[in-house]
Amino acid sequence: MALYKTLTVSPTTKVLIWKIEESIEELKNGISLTEKNTARLDGMKSDIHQKGFLSIRHLLKEVGLTDADLDYDAYGKPHLDAGRYISISHSFTFTAIIFSDNLPVGIDVEKQREKILKIAHKFTPFEEYKTIANVDALISKLTIVWGAKESLYKIYGKKKLLFLHHIFVDDFKFEDKKTKGEIRFNGEEASYKIEFLEFEGFTCVFAY
């Protein structure tokens, strides 16, 4: 089984990343699903979605959780009991979770793709990044910004939050591997720490 990376953010918060290399049958081994989630799995049309769904259950197992521990609210946000927090992400051949005993958390994993250049103006003031001459570096930076905003959006967990107008990410250097972000909405502000890493053409960003 392919646990790809484990990051200890703090004594109470961990990030785990899975690289999907197994068949669906292999991924079904060693985990149990609720009746509801068995039906959900069976209803998935593509193999990659089924594999992502199952590999996340293996990541849950790594932090001592089961499929039955997850509860989803009306907005599709996953919840745990006892003041614990979790966030989940899946992109192609990688899945990731961030789990915390005491902090609201969000995570996003993304494949680095050129199409982000076309949608950048929808989620960030693009002018800020036009000084980056290298296209690969620009794709990399924008993917981190998108992942950071997606992670903060997941922490907030409700609709109506707009990436461009309500979620803000401080500028950063690649080598720092961290930055800060803010949600400003309905007259309230909340600040979060953001960390990121890149691997095999993918970007993982998490906020807490």
Q: Using one digit for the tens of pLDDT, what is the confidence trace for 154-164?
A: 999 988 899 99
How confident is the model at residue 194, as a pLDDT?
98
Q: Which CATH code of 3.40.630.30, 3.40.120.10, 3.90.470.20, 3.40.50.300 fits the domain covering 109-207?
A: 3.90.470.20
Residues 6+ apart with CB under 8 A from 149: 123, 124, 163, 167, 169, 181
Tokens 């899946």 — which residue? Answer: 90
Which DSSP string corresponds to 128-191?
A: GGTT---HHHHHHHHHHHHHHHHHHHHHH-STT--HHHHEEE----GGG-EEEEEEEETTEEEE
In the chain, what are the domain boundaries?
3-103, 109-207
Query: What is this structure's pTM?
Result: 0.95
Q: Which CATH code of 3.90.1010.10, 3.90.470.20, 3.40.50.720, 2.60.260.20 fits the domain covering 3-103?
A: 3.90.470.20
User: Is the distance from CB of 63 to CB of 16 less than 8 angstroms?
Assistant: yes
Tokens 């484990």 — which residue? Answer: 6
Q: CA 52: distance to chain centroid?
A: 13
pLDDT > 90? residue 132: no
pLDDT > 90? residue 16: yes
Q: CA 22: distance to chain centroid?
A: 21
In whole angstroms, give the CA distance from residue 120 to residue 31: 39
How does pLDDT run across 56-98, given as a tens digit for each residue? 999 999 999 999 999 999 998 999 998 999 999 999 999 999 9
Using CA atoms, how far residue 138 sits from 45, 115, 174, in Å, is 34, 12, 11
Fold matches, 3-103 and 109-207: yes
How confident is the model at residue 154, as a pLDDT?
97
pLDDT > 80? residue 192: yes
How confident is the model at residue 1, as a pLDDT?
62
Residue 22's SS3 state is coil
Token digits for 193? Answer: 């720490």
Cβ burial, residue 35 (10 Å; 0-12/13-18/19+): exposed
DSSP state of 93: T
pLDDT band at 131 (very low <50, low <70, confident <90, very high): confident
How does pLDDT run across 17-55, given as a tens digit for each residue? 999 999 999 999 999 999 999 999 999 999 999 999 999
